[in-house]
Structure 1
């Protein structure tokens, strides 16, 4: 038997994580090792939820999502990991992406929050640049590396658990033995716990 590649849920659909009353809306999904995993609106970008860990919700329910506050506000001065220049936040987009303007050159770029660190808006440009050089290496680089390592490890853990779940699914389809089906469900439960721990 060949599993369908069509996702069970669609972008914009209301769902809840099994056993949790909070309702979310799906804003993206991807196919990993033959199984669909989903990102839920209002959750960190690193959190992915396996199909079997989600439950559909009637569309007339109000959406109750976890609201995450952005780290920086419009007008705030920031630095980028490994870059000595100082930037000012001029706009914000979904998923905590910021539009930044270089305070010296006027260049405008977009950057993810995970590589940004605060810079003192009250200091002169020269002082801010000096602070950026010192702090970017000591703080921002370390924090960004930790976040990237955590995201990479989570993805690897999900991949491994999905491999185990898919193997048990195939054995269940071949033998009909419910023990394989139960082991498959255990892996999806572990994936749900993993994504919640990293939320």
Structure 2
């Protein structure tokens, strides 16, 4: 076995796929008909040894690929309250993601576009400014992956794969939701009564929709409490 051929590159090494100029990490090595082929970034495609090169040895033009994982706490149709707007209700009608990249820092901002239920006034707010009153549907948090390519001739290795700041706020979010749950339940009852009055006064079906969503959410909260 001493003469057994070994792969030129190893798992975990950062390489450039020379036919595309993209940078990635070797995640698996396979043997096909006695030839080593390499999996890059867990992708389905496989690459021969002569189509990849170590990043530090590559002298050509580079396209840097970055995948950004985004998770949205709110989604289209959710009814929310906004910081500094009291008990006024807004419906989420749009989501905008702003991706910021600098030499020494990087982050993503998620901005929600809202329409006030009572008069349709437009507003935008960040996730931190929103409190969920009732979701439009029984859905999990919406997640999305965004692939981006950067073109550059002389990019330092430390700049090629910027560290993504993944903020795992699940524990913080759980504390926040627990603290607000009692307030939300009381607020939901007030909201239902207010919109029942508006519906009886104007007979606008949008008010009835909010009432139904509030009742649906109250039932969901009651069911979750019973399951504990």
Q: Which has the larger radius of gyration?
A: 2
Q: TM-score, normalised by structure 1?
A: 0.30
Q: Which is helix-richer, 1 or 2?
A: 1
Q: Which is strand-richer, 1 or 2?
A: 2
